[in-house]
Amino acid sequence: MTRALAVLALVACVSGCFGYNKSAKRWAYAGDTVLILGGGAVIGLDILNKDKAEPAMPNEMEKYKQPISGGIVAGAVLVAAGVFGIIFNATRPNVKTTR
C-alpha cells in the first residue's frame, strides 16, 4: 500500500511546483511544502513498516534484507523535488503580466 501511494505521488508531483508571478509563487511554495511533507511521510511509513528480521533455520541461509527500500527512494525524490522547487521559485524573477 505504501509503495503504491509513493509511486502515485512520485509520478504526479516529481517535477515540483514553479510559479511565474507573486500569486503563482505562493501556491507553488504551498505545493512544494506538500511535496516535502509527503516525502517525509513516505520515508517515515517505510521505516516504521519494515519487516522484522526472521530467525534463520540452522540449515538455511538468512534471507537478503535490502538496506534501502523503494519507499525511502520515492520519499527522497519527493523531498528533493520540493526543495528544488522552493530554491527555483526563490531565485526566479517575477514575470509582469497584464490582464
33 occurs within a structural domain: yes
* Cα 86 from Cα 44, distance rounded (Å): 22
3 occurs within a structural domain: no
Q: Report how many domains make up the chain.
A: 1
Handedness of CA 50, 55, 59, 61 (dihedral sign): positive
Res. 18 pLDDT band, cuts 50 70 90: low
13 occurs within a structural domain: no
User: For the segment 23-36, what is each residue's pLDDT rounded down to a tens digit?
Assistant: 778 888 888 898 99
User: For the segment 35-47, what is each residue's pLDDT rounded down to a tens digit?
Assistant: 999 999 999 998 8
Query: Which candidate, 15, 17, 20, places its Cα nearest to that of 33?
Result: 17
Asked if 8 and 57 touch (Cβ cutoff 8 Å), the reply is no
Q: How far is CA 28 from CA 19, 22, 95, in A?
A: 6, 10, 15
27 occurs within a structural domain: yes
User: For the segment 4-15, what is each residue's pLDDT rounded down to a tens digit?
Assistant: 766 666 666 555
* Domain extent for 78: 19-48+68-94
